[in-house]
Amino acid sequence: MNSRNLADTSGDLVVAASEPLTGGALVWTSFVILVTAGLLLVAAYTGAKGKLHPNPLFGIRTDLTLSDDEAWYEVQRKSAPWMAAAGTATAVGGVSLILVNDGDMQMIMLLASLAVCVTLVIAGALMSSRAVRDERARRDRTTDENHSERGEE
């Protein structure tokens, strides 16, 4: 049994054991984590294929993607690799719960995989949105330049 010394509120050291997840707690926790991983992988696949339609619950939802359907599809496509990586990291955390029989290591692996997941989703959303916004700004500047060369306004 793993144990470590912790100070309680009186300052005395007490032994706190970190028991591994087992039984129903292990099954349900792993199930929720693996379903989350599956949803991320589905979002990545459908986003990459252009089949993730604008909706109120699923996908990268920013001011840009909510204001324009074309931007929605572009951002989902560009964020797909990030979502796939996040789903994979989450799946690793879910599987590690089942394979590891040490409570401390289960928590470390689970928290690390979820931290990686959240970081990848946020980074993917920000970078994809920024890339689409920058591409649109370049396209608008090019269009404006072409109009001004022709004498159009």
Q: How much is the pLDDT for 15?
A: 53
| Domain total of the chain | 1
Q: How much is the pLDDT for 138?
A: 92
Structural domain of 80? 21-141
In a domain, 100, yes or no: yes
In a domain, 151, yes or no: no
What mean pLDDT, rounded, does the chain reach?
88
> What tens digit of pLDDT does each residue of 18-58 get?
788 889 999 999 999 999 999 999 999 999 999 999 998 99
Q: Residue 113 is encoded by which pair of tokens?
A: 């995989």
Closest-CA residue to 93 (of 76, 111, 77, 81): 111
Closest-CA residue to 134 (of 46, 66, 49, 75): 75
**CA atoms within 13 Å, Cβ hemisphere of 122:** 6
Q: How much is the pLDDT for 149?
A: 67
What's the whole-number mean pLDDT along residues 81-104? 94
In a domain, 1, yes or no: no
Q: Which residues have C-beta within 8 Å of that of residue 48, sequence separation ≥ 6?
A: 76, 77, 80, 81
How far is residue 140's CA from residue 147's CA, in Å, rounded to a whole number?
11
> What tens digit of pLDDT does each residue of 48-92 get?
999 999 998 999 999 999 999 999 999 999 999 999 999 999 999
In a domain, 99, yes or no: yes
